[in-house]
Amino acid sequence: MAKNKQTQQPGESLSPLDALKMDLFFWLQAMSTALIFLIILFTLVGRIIGVEGSSMQPTLHHGDLLLLQSIGYEPRAGDVVVLTKEFDMITEPIVKRVIAVGGQQVEIDYEAGTVAVDGQILEEPYLPEPMDQPGYENLASITVPEGSIFVMGDNRNHSTDSRYIGLGAVDKRYVLGRALCIILPVSAFGAIR
């Protein structure tokens, strides 16, 4: 003899165990959807990475979380990028601004506090103060090798960047991606310029 399965009639309340099962089912469904969304986001867009240090102030600050575009990205002058090239004591990813790409000539004039690419002085409204001569052996003139980029921090007087001979021009293969926007803290949320 087959047992009849009881079905819930409208207006009847669920037992505590059935209510728990339904809640668990809905939570698992929501978590699965969120996980699938994150996997698609990180596969198609990029990744999230934190900023360490002050070399990109005032554009970025220590502790900011950035959303990166990784797939299909080709570095361009003016982009803020994250690099993984290790040098000296630096073993973590670093965030810098692309000043020039392969084949371009970079000239740095510390007396005038300017950077010129292919003879054109850059307009750099993001700099917090005039640029001083760094305290390390540096490159003041370079033709960027093909397949490489020349990067500098926005906070030039507190940045170890491509001017430093230990880093120099960086092979594009070290670029993790372009920083698209700040996602945390919420007060700084927005696109990076």
Residues with catalytic roles:
55, 96
Q: Which of 181, 145, 173 is nearest to 48 (CA)?
A: 181
- Return the bridge partners of 105, or none: 143
**CA-wise closest residue to 158 among 49, 62, 33:** 62
3-class SS of residue 68: strand
Residue 21, φ and ψ in degrees, nearest 5: -60, -45
**What is the C-alpha to C-alpha distance for residues 192 and 179, in angstroms, rounded to an integer?**
7
CB-CB contact of 142 with 169 (8 Å): yes
**Rounded-to-integer distance, Cα 138 and Cα 50, Å:** 27
Residue 25 dihedral angles phi and psi, to the nearest 5°:
-60, -45
The residue among 35, 164, 170, 17 whose CA lies nearest residue 102 is: 170
